[in-house]
Amino acid sequence: MSKYPFIPHSRPVLSDEQLLENSKTFYEEMDTRRTVRHFSSRPVPKEVIENIIKTASTAPSGAHKQPWTFAIISSPDMKRKIRIAAEKEEQENYHGRMSEEWIRDLEPLGTDEHKPFLEDAPYLIAVFKKAYDIHPEGKRKNYYVNESVGLAAVFLIAAIHQAGLCSLTHTPSPMNFLEQILERPKNERAILLLPVGYPSEEAVVPDIQRKPLEEVSVWY
């Protein structure tokens, strides 16, 4: 017997029809998710964001360490600072640091160095990975940190969509300015910055397709 407690867990056994319907409904819902780059400033209740973060934090993680911090930014002053710092980096990316191939690959998405969404969206969520935990007795190891935080980010993006909102998976590069502006402790590294809210009335998304099942799966 483990010296740690275990509790029973089960799922109701559903009919095949019900499984089919559930899986199809969820797929169809998720297939309507789009990355949006034009945000409305329409306010969103704080409790909605709290629920979204709680959902993200249900993601599996290495040794259940949950090595993540979600920083939620709604202060206009802070959003402005973040936009200025991100645009400074992106200016250099688009005009020198990125290869010609990279710039060409981004053309269908219509991105550039201007990031007004960082001020327009009612919330920015910055996702930090915790390389290790800081305890009074010293450092404690975390495991599979990149994978764990990636999984939490996926849950976050799905929860934002399911709530009825949009996000942009933004990766300003480099993004250490987030650690500085938000004054995060030294064990935290920024991995993503997500504007969250409603799309603006003029919002458009690129007319791009997802790969079909046959192209993304192999069956044995």
Interface residues with ligand IYR (CB under 6 A) are: 90, 93, 106, 109, 111, 170-173
Q: 163 with 96: CB under 8 angstroms?
A: no
Instruction: Report in angstroms how near the CB of residue 39 gets to ligand IYR at its nearest.
Output: 14
Nearer to ligand IYR, 38 or 170 (CB): 170
Residue 131 C-beta: closest distance to ligand IYR, Å: 22
Q: Which is nearer to ligand IYR, 170 or 189 (CB)?
A: 170
Record the tokens describing residue 119, joined without a space: 């001020």
Report which residue's Cβ sits closest to ligand IYR: 111
**Minimal distance in Å, beta carbon 105 to ligand IYR?**
7
Query: Which run of H or E residues covers position 91?
Result: helix 76-92
Q: Which amino acid is at 193?
A: L
Closest approach of ligand IYR to the CB of residue 22, in Å: 31
Nearest approach, Cβ of residue 112 and ligand IYR (Å): 7
- Show contacts of 48-53: CB within 8 Å, 24+ apart: 48/163, 48/165, 49/123, 49/125, 49/196, 51/159, 51/163, 52/156, 52/159, 52/160, 52/163, 52/196, 53/125, 53/156
Following DSSP, what letter does each residue of 163-188 receive, concatenated?
HT-EE--B--SS-HHHHHHTT--TTE
CB-wise, 18 or 171, nearer to ligand IYR? 171
Q: Name the residue nearer to ligand IYR (CB basis): 80 or 114.
A: 114
Are 166 and 196 in contact, with CB atoms under 8 Å apart? yes
83 or 170, CB closer to ligand IYR?
170
